[in-house]
Amino acid sequence: MNIREAVDRIRQGPSGESVGAFFDFTGTVLQGYSPLRPVRAKRVTQHGQNAAIASDLMKTLRTSKTEESFQHMVRTIYPNWAGQADEDVDTIARQLFERTIAGRVYPEVWHLVHAHLSKGHTVAIVTSGPRYLAEAAARAFGVPHVLATALAAKEGVLTGELEGAPLWRREKAAAVRRFASSHALDLESSYGYSHGSEDVDVLSAVANAVAINPDTVLTRVADQQHWPVLRFAPRGAVNPVQAVRTVAGYGGFLGAVGAGLSRGVLKRDHRLGVDAAIGSSADVALRIAGIDVHVRGKRNIWSDRPAVFIFNHQSQLDTLILAKVLRGGFTAIVKKEMAAHRVFGPILRTADVVFIDRADSARAREALRPVEETLRSGLSIVIAPEGTRSLTPKLGPFKKGAFHIARQAGVPVIPFIIRNAGELMWKHGKVLRDGVVDVVVGDPIDVSAWSDQDFDANVESVRSIFVRTLEEWPQTE
């Protein structure tokens, strides 16, 4: 079974909150760490004690296959947290997930979770470890429930001991059954997902068990029980080949930028140089990195320029995708932090982008005033209405600035919808993975007649175009 078939199976199944969907955490929602691999987390924390807690949290993501290895984790990690405020550990875990661990999440699992939530199912992440990282993932996924091994605390301070039995093997399955009973779930129509043989009891508790990247024992059990199997590409350590291709891709990118800008100097035409650099540099970088871009709606790329192109933002890879597809004749509005980026900063400044301070709305509005004149001069604008990159494919709320700019300048808004970019380079990623990115360039949207009264509703209607397209990707032009 592949991921599309798995999602279709959910969509064609029963709806409603009486249907449960239980996801194991380490090894299923995200790729765990090998028990033999040392883990370090000092880069994501500033205080030494926080770094120690972060390292311990990462150790809870080591895949435990035996009772001995699991009990070793219980004996050697949780006592270290005695005297720590439960709230502080939760904060460290949230920061650790957002800056590091989220890059290990299987994007395919997000699609499974989203399919279950869309059907109104009751979704829970179930982990043998403590709740902290699982809850951080649940927040990012929009999952409302987490079942985890409970740690004892007095007045909000951890004691270093467990509260009750750890959720391991039969206890984990028992926790699922208790949760199902308390939430009136029908296990005969519910789903379970896990990677490990230690969760056979959990998978046996539901009617629709699925093995994800199963170990040897679970592969054999899944075959005997006729459970479908899903296998996903690794999300862990960087492949050396990918790292080399990324470095080479950036090198080719910079070389192509230099060649394009030199052409502009020779022709004494700054814009010609910028446009020559934009498309060719993206072509070179993506080709070396092994990334193909498939575009639908090509007719809309040039049909109604100048325009405000709005795109869903997941990673720095988006910059290359926009450059490859749009080719030239545009500039961008980006956060001021990008001005300091070692690779893109100097190039963005050369391309006359507008840098805005998202923390200072007054200055941001002031910086946007010249943008209307830029549009009237014939140059298009690219902007991410979400305002920031997301950890998952889930679309964030849209800010209204792009739409106000388009209305004031009398130009259309054109949706630029990107799928898969976050899978090839996640939010804080540095390395490009090879693969395919899909793009839909939507029909131009006339915003000139939008009234102030209906403005918010109209913005939301445009956002819904992104949501529908990402959920039901068009198969043809």
Domain enclosing residue 89, as ranges: 3-230
Mean pLDDT over residues 222-237, rounded? Answer: 90
Structure tokens belonging to residue 322: 């926009």
Q: Which helix (H) or strand (E) holds 230?
A: strand 229-230
> Both 194 and 295 in a single domain?
no
Q: Which of 230, 263, 291 is the last residue of a domain?
A: 230
The DSSP code sequence of 142-197 is T--EEE-PPEEEETTEEEEEESS----THHHHHHHHHHHHHTT--GGG-EEEESSG
461-to-91, 121, 206, 392, 468 alpha-carbon distances in Å: 35, 26, 38, 21, 11
Q: Is residue 103 part of a domain?
A: yes
What's the whole-model pTM score? 0.84
Helix (H, G, I), strand (E, B) or coil at 121: coil
> Both 278 and 303 in a single domain?
yes
| Confidence label for 235 from pLDDT (cuts 50, 70 and 90) | confident
Distance of CA 145 to the CA centre of its chain: 20
Residue of 14, 35, 17 whose CA lies nearest to 26: 35
Helix (H, G, I), strand (E, B) or coil at 411: coil
Q: Is residue 426 part of a domain?
A: yes
Q: Which of 198, 230, 262 is the last residue of a domain?
A: 230
Euclidean distance between CA atoms 41 and 385, whole angstroms: 32
Residue-wise pLDDT tens digits, 99-146: 888 888 999 999 999 999 999 999 999 999 999 999 999 999 999 999
> Both 162 and 279 in a single domain?
no
Residue-wise pLDDT tens digits, 360-405: 566 656 666 778 888 888 999 999 999 888 778 889 999 998 999 9
CATH assignment at residue 203: 3.40.50.1000
> Both 251 and 270 in a single domain?
yes
Mean pLDDT over residues 442-452, rounded? Answer: 95
Q: Where are the alpha helices (DSSP H) in 377-420?
A: 401-409
Q: What was the pLDDT predicted at 260?
A: 62
> Both 96 and 194 in a single domain?
yes
Point out the least confidently predicted range of 122-126, 317-321, 331-335, 384-388: 331-335
Q: Is residue 476 part of a domain?
A: no
Q: Is residue 235 part of a domain?
A: no
> Both 205 and 291 in a single domain?
no
Q: Is residue 82 part of a domain?
A: yes
> Both 330 and 287 in a single domain?
yes
Report the range out of 53-57, 95-99, 198-202 with the highest average pLDDT.
198-202
Q: What is the mean pLDDT of the chain?
A: 87
> Both 209 and 319 in a single domain?
no
Q: Which helix (H) or strand (E) holds 138?
A: helix 131-141
Q: Which of 208, 230, 252 is the last residue of a domain?
A: 230
> Both 77 and 220 in a single domain?
yes
Q: Is residue 29 part of a domain?
A: yes
pLDDT greater than 90 at residue 237: no
CATH assignment at residue 276: 3.40.1130
pLDDT greater than 60 at residue 40: no
Sheet holding 122-126, edge to edge: 145-147, 122-126, 20-24, 191-194, 208-212, 229-230
Euclidean distance between CA atoms 100 and 237, whole angstroms: 12
Q: What was the pLDDT predicted at 383?
A: 92
> Both 194 and 308 in a single domain?
no
> Both 180 and 249 in a single domain?
no
Domains: count for the chain: 2
10 Å CB burial of residue 237 (0-12, 13-18, 19+) is exposed
Q: Is residue 380 part of a domain?
A: yes
Q: Is residue 477 part of a domain?
A: no
> Both 31 and 115 in a single domain?
yes
